[in-house]
Structure 1
Amino acid sequence: MDNQVPPRKVPNFCSIRYGIALLLLLCNVIIMSQRVCMSLTMITMVNSTEPHGLSNTSTKEPQDNIKNPVYNWSTEIQGIMLSSIFYGILISQIPAGYLSGIYSLKKMVGSALFLSSLFTLLIPLAAEFGEALVIICRVIQGLFQGIALTTQQVVWIKWAPPLEQVRLTSLSLSGLLLGPCVVLLITGFICDSLGWPMVFYIFGACGCALSLLWFILFYEDPKDHPCISKSEKEYITSALAQQNGLLSSLPHLFAWIFAILAGHMSDVFLSRNILSLLTIRKLFTLLGLLLPALFSLCLLFLSSSFHGTMIFLILANATGSFCMGGILINVLDIAPRYYGFLKGFTNVIGLTGGLVASTVTGVILSQDQGSPWLKIFFMMVANNVISLIFYLIFAKAEIQDWAKETQNTYL
């Protein structure tokens, strides 16, 4: 009975595990919205026409006293405010990872989201009392965001079958890409119509409401969830019983190592004038798109043993990180002035591609009883090769004319 292989299960997008992924996606959207929104509200929070650094006192227009208070913060203080949240995120990573193995994930993720949202709500009030309180709020906010981002990954130890770990993880983490898009779309409108404090109130209130939903809907173990179907519960538990968690983590570990290696190698090539910037970008994009395609084909045709399968699977996943030194940073070369907007735009396209890929995979698996994975892998290889050819033909590495800042000169 222990050696019996469970029947293949077609991913069910209405299942509890996908509901949890959607809940975490929304959690990450809120977290990123709370983190990024101050970068946009700062424009209206600071009076750019007055000399900065004089005091924290707000210089308010009579008709705009409550809606849009304005402060005399120096550019140095603004930079500290915007970056202070990352100090909190940084110092929380190791403790959060350790505590996630001891305490309840339900309480850790839910409480971290709630407290991050609470300090988001407090930022407009803190601004009235001084820039120091804003910085403190941002650091504490980052501390709890780091806890939420780290501990949520542990959820999939018990909820994600091995064949769906990447799909469920990528779906939940896609909220980190969608969040900045949401902020860019609505923050300006909120500032104009309701005032910049409402940005913090809205995102903070949404986070508080979502944390309540988390406490109500999430259970740490599939066997404890009151709404899960018997078939889904058996599918998850039987699938997890047949795979080693360490082996599942190896592709992600090597992807991280290859990403660091790609960044270091590209900087060495550039600093020592070994290759031109355009050649570097094309080289690492070629490696990052072509090698995964080749190792995926090897996985299909040359992996006759368990160890061979694991090796090709790790290499197919890890070598994609070479794009870190190529196409993923290329936007900064051609349009640094619009880097934030273009990066957000391309992230949305990438997010859409990921969602479409998951849907198409499910359709193929449900309709093709012959060799569905063969078709899926060949589609992935074709997509990589076509994208690579397009990039090698059209790629540029110098600032484009449309992205250059124009300077008006007056005689």
Structure 2
Amino acid sequence: MQNVVLDTRISDQRTMLDRKEISIKGARCCSFFPLRYMFAVVAFLGMFNLYALRVNLSVAIVAMVNHTSIAGKRNETISSQIGTVCPVPAGSQHKAVSNGEFNWDGPVQGLVLGSFFYGYIFTCFLGGWLAHKFGGKYIFGPSVLVGGILTLLTPLAARTHYGALIAVRALQGLVNGVCFPAMQTLISSWSPATERTKLVGFVFSGMHIGMVLTLAVSGYLANFWGWASIFYLFGVSACIWFVLWIFFVYDTPFVHPYISEDELQLITKDTRKKSNEKVPDFPWRSALTSLPFLAAAVAHFGGTWAFFTLLTNLPTYLNNMLHFDLEANGLLSALPYLTVALCTQASSVISDWLRQKGHLSTTTVRKGSQLLGLVVPSLCLIGVGFTCNSYIAMALLVVGVGLGGMAFAAVSANFIDLSPQYAGILLGISQTPAMLPGIVAPYVVGVITGGPNGQTMENWRTVFYITASIGIFAAIVYCIFGSGEVQSWGQRKASLIPDAVDFKSKPEGVAWVHRRPSRISASNSEDRISVKEI
């Protein structure tokens, strides 16, 4: 059998050799810290900033609203609330929240808190499609940057009119809606199958750490420098992060100039990713009628309803029902999300260990995570509605919200399980209905708990009942129909036709043997494509 070599020479040979030498040196210098972990660290910081921009309003609104004018109406009918309002604990150091600039009642506050999602819901799917077609780097990064700029404009909008604030937040949501699907596409490209849950858990725990620090710091910022300082700090932080993103992140390991051959093979061997592979069109009918995907979408919805109900309203609950002052409010609001971050990391490591050792199948691991991460938090929330003891209430919130991290990590990884190549689009499709709670939940809470008789245990108990019912229903659906296996419609059908070669011109009796193209740019490279004569 005789070997035939076809040479495709581009540009001069000297430039090619220089760039290859740079690539080899770069791979050696970065071997002590794998580049997939470098990507994960910068992506973690990106998720941190993304959620800092999203949740800062939850604490800021406590300092923005004039509580005296609202409480005045409530005091007129306080006699009808005897036995249903938690008393201020004896010896408590509770300090009244200073009055803010705005006379916004409960429904208006609900509209403001939910306004981010008015725009967010329209671009979730778009983010998956754009990242699928063009890569996630220049979808995710600029989105966070624009969100930071809009955050800097938030104080001006709020002082203009609450309608202007709603418009700015909705626009921020519109821009940030592409972020999660884009990040899912990037993670799918950079994660080896055996590290998938761990990488997903680490990157997405950035959002929980972002919530923790934002909620913890915001109370102090509002007290010492005014509520507007909250938006200025985190807006600037997002702009600084964008510089790191541009310099350190690449769409895929194939285009990274300094990645080692060993790491590239580790990332690509299980999913058979190819740098020049043409990705087939998305199988719409098969995916949208797939019970495992629909079950994952239902679980996603159930988790986000609880998540957004507490994210947007927990500071209000702690202030009005448990009587914590603004500084303590921020710290205590952050505590459950610190537990989420820790639980997400721990459950991700344990899940991958159980799968790698063959103790449990991927499907069993995913179902167990959803069961613990949706049902137990639901029961904890019901318990919160029956106690005025601040220690018991906070313990239940910490346990409940923390275990919710298991469900989040599992469902995020599950979209990659079902189809590694379409994970971004699947998340984008699921994210659209999953963001509805961001719009509906704050408004529902505002209606139920608004007005002079709104801040009562009975009304908050109703809020928790609704949230728990949705979570338990979602867990049941996923445990029946969920799966952790790659679906037939989601399997990669790789094309082995090399780039820059005209297939029609292949000589008779010659078969192509595909080799991974050089990571040198096409304008200064030389590729050799080996073929065999048969």
- Please tell me the TM-score bracket, short chain as reference: 0.5 to 0.7
Instruction: Provide the residue aligned with 1:389 in structure 2.
Output: none
Cα 1:25–1:344, aligned 2, differ >3 Å: closer, same or farther? Answer: farther
> What residue in structure 2 maps to residue 133 of structure 1?
164
Cα deviation, residue 320, structure 1: 2.9
Q: 1:335 is matched with which residue: 361, 384, 393?
A: 384
Residue type of the alignment partner of 1:33: A
Listed one character per residue, the Cα deviations across residues 345-377 of structure 1 (whole Å, up to 9, x for unaligned) are 76568879x99xxxxxxxxxxxxxxxxxxxxxx
The alignment status of 1:36 with 2:55, answered yes or no, reads yes
| Deviation digits for residues 71-98 of structure 1 (CA, Å, limit 9, x no counterpart) | 2223322110001112222221122222
Larger Rg computed on CA atoms: 2
- Correspondence 1:238 to 2:269: yes
Residue of structure 2 equivalent to 1:371: none
Distance change in 2, residues 1:69/1:49 (3 Å): closer
Tell whether 2:119 aligns with 1:79.
no
Task: Describe the SS at the equivalent of 1:333.
Answer: helix
Name the counterpart of 2:40: 21
Structure 2 counterparts to residues 187-202 of structure 1, below 5 A = 187-202=218-233
Name whichever of 202-211 and 322-331 sits farther off: 322-331
Q: Classify 1:111/1:325 alpha carbon distance in 2 versus 1 (closer, same or farther; 3 Å).
A: closer
Aligned-partner SS, 1:81 = helix
Give CA-to-partner distance per residue, 1:256-297, whole Å, 9 cap, x none: 26737999xxxxxxxxxxxxxxxxxxxxxxxxx9xx99xx69
What residue number does 1:225 align with? 256
Structure 1 residues 80 and 163: alpha-carbon distance in aligned structure 2, compared to 1, 3 A threshold: same
Residue by residue, what CA displacement relative to the aligned partner does 1:140-161 show, whole Å, maximum 9, x if unpaired?
A: 1112222112211000232111
Q: Which one of the candidate residues 171, 186, 193 is aligned to 2:217?
A: 186
- Partner residue in 1 for 2:445: none
Shift of 1:181: 1.4
Q: Could you report, residue by residue, the CA deviation over 1:179-198 in whole angstroms, capped at 9, with x for unpaired residues?
A: 22112211111111111111
* Residue identity opposite 1:153 in structure 2: Q
Gaps (5+ residues) in structure 1?
Answer: 1-11, 53-67, 264-288, 302-308, 356-403, 406-411
Give runs of aligned pairs for residues 326-405 of structure 1, distance below 5 A: 326-336=375-385, 343=397
1:115 aligns with 2:164: no
**Relative to 1, partners in 2 of residues 1:224 and 1:98: Cα closer, same or farther, differing over 3 Å?**
closer
Instruction: Tell me which of the two structures has the higher relative contact order, counting C-alpha pairs closer than 8 angstroms and 6 or more residues apart.
Output: 2
CA–CA distance in 1 between the matches of 2:100 and 2:302?
Answer: 45
CA drift of 1:229 comes to 3.0
- Give the match's secondary structure for 1:38: helix
| Aligned amino acid, residue 380 of structure 2 | V
Could you say if the C-alpha distance between residues 316 and 224 of structure 1 is closer, same or farther in structure 2, counting changes exceeding 3 Å? same
The farther-off stretch of 131-140 and 14-23 is 14-23
What is the rounded CA distance, in whole Å, between the counterparts of 2:239 and 2:67 in structure 1?
33
| Structure 2 partner of 1:316 | 365
Question: Hey, what does 1:215 align to over in structure 2?
Answer: 246
Q: Aligned partners of 2:301, 2:257: CA distance in 1, in Å?
A: 46
Q: TM-score, normalised by structure 2?
A: 0.48
Q: Deviations along 1:27-77, whole A, 9 cap, x unmatched?
A: 22222222111111111111111369xxxxxxxxxxxxxxx9612223322
- Of all paired residues, the percent bearing the same amino acid is 25
> Is it true that 1:89 corresponds to 2:120 in the alignment?
yes
Aligned to 2:68: 49
| Contact 1:159–1:222, Cα closer than 8 Å, also in 2 | yes
Question: Partners of 2:129 and 2:302 in 1: how far apart?
Answer: 29
One-letter amino acid of the structure 1 residue matched with residue 265 of structure 2: E
Query: Equivalent of 2:183, from 148, 152, 172?
Result: 152
Distance in 1, matches of 2:401 and 2:224, equals 28
Q: Cα offset for 1:125? A: 0.8
Q: SS of 2:174's equivalent?
A: helix
Shift of 1:104: 3.6
Shift of 1:222: 1.2
Once residues 36 and 401 of structure 2 are traced to their aligned partners in structure 1, the CA distance between those partners, rounded to angstroms, is 24
Equivalent residues of 1:158, 1:240 under 8 A apart: no
Q: How much has 1:136 moved relative to structure 2?
A: 0.7
Distance in structure 2 (CA, Å) of the matches to 1:112 and 1:261: 23
CA distance in 2, matches of 1:150, 1:350: 20
Structure 2 residue 111 is the aligned partner of structure 1 residue 70: no
What corresponds to 2:452 in structure 1? Answer: none
Measure the CA separation in 2 of the matches of 1:114 and 1:76: 30
**SS of 2:38's equivalent?**
helix
The 2-side partners of 1:196 and 1:258 are apart by 37
Q: Aligned with 1:101: secondary structure?
A: helix
Letter in 2 for 1:101: H
Cα shift at 1:203? 0.8
- Tell me the CA shift for residue 319 of structure 1: 4.0
* Contact 2:383–2:396 under 8 Å retained in 1: no
Give the structure 1 partner of residue 335 of structure 2. none
Aligned partners of 2:120 and 2:44: how far apart in 1?
Answer: 19
Residues 34 and 120 in structure 1, CA contact (< 8 A), matched pair in contact too: yes
Cα distance in 1, alignment partners of residues 302 and 235 from structure 2: 38
Unmatched 5+ stretches in structure 2 = 1-30, 72-98, 304-346, 410-455, 458-534
Distance in 1 between residues matched to 2:120 and 2:176, nearest whole Å: 6
Q: Following TM superposition, by how much is the alpha carbon of 1:331 offset from its aligned partner in structure 2, in angstroms? A: 2.0
Write out per-residue CA displacement over residues 196-240 of structure 1, whole angstroms, 9 at most, x where no aligned residue: 111001111111111221111111121322332333223223343
C-alpha change, 1:199 and 1:47, in structure 2 (3 Å) is same
Aligned to 2:453: none
Mapped to 1, the partners of 2:218 and 2:118 lie a distance apart of: 24
Q: Tell me, what secondary structure is at the counterpart of 2:132?
A: coil
2:119 and 2:252 mapped to 1: Cα distance? 30
Q: Say whether the 8 Å CA contact 1:15–1:232 is kept in structure 2.
A: yes
- Contact 1:258 1:322 (8 Å CA) reproduced: no
